[in-house]
Amino acid sequence: MLPFVDQILEAEGRADARMSFRTKARVKATIQKAAALSGVDESTFTMSAAYGHALKVIDTHENTFLKDVDHEMFFSALDNPPEPTDALKAAFARYANELKR
């Protein structure tokens, strides 16, 4: 059995904001079963799962993780950038023209 970890406990503040959504009966039944097996109510189970997943999505979009070899290449390119290519110069020119409009 997987242990249930309530992700909401780390969020500070009062639980006074409401969320309401509709779902399919099959989805609801699955959530109800999983909540019962975890020993928590449906609301706690659903909000904890949604909150935990939301934190992961935000972390994935806001942070970049590189392997050691990629890390070295990335920072080497920042420290020693190559000369701009003709294609890059053209892209900057198009962008500058768009800003003038």
Q: Is residue 1 part of a domain?
A: no
58 and 72 fall within a common domain: no
Tens of pLDDT, residues 3-56: 888 888 878 888 888 989 999 999 999 999 999 999 999 999 999 999 999 999
11 and 58 fall within a common domain: yes
pTM: 0.63
User: Cα 44–18–6 angle (5° rounding)?
Assistant: 20
Which residue type, as a one-letter code, is found at position 21? F
Question: Do the Cβ atoms of 74 and 66 come closer than 8 Å?
Answer: yes
Q: Is residue 2 part of a domain?
A: no
**Total domain count for the chain?**
2
Tens of pLDDT, residues 15-30: 888 989 999 999 999 9
33 and 75 fall within a common domain: no
Domain that holds residue 47: 7-62
Q: Is residue 50 part of a domain?
A: yes
30 and 72 fall within a common domain: no
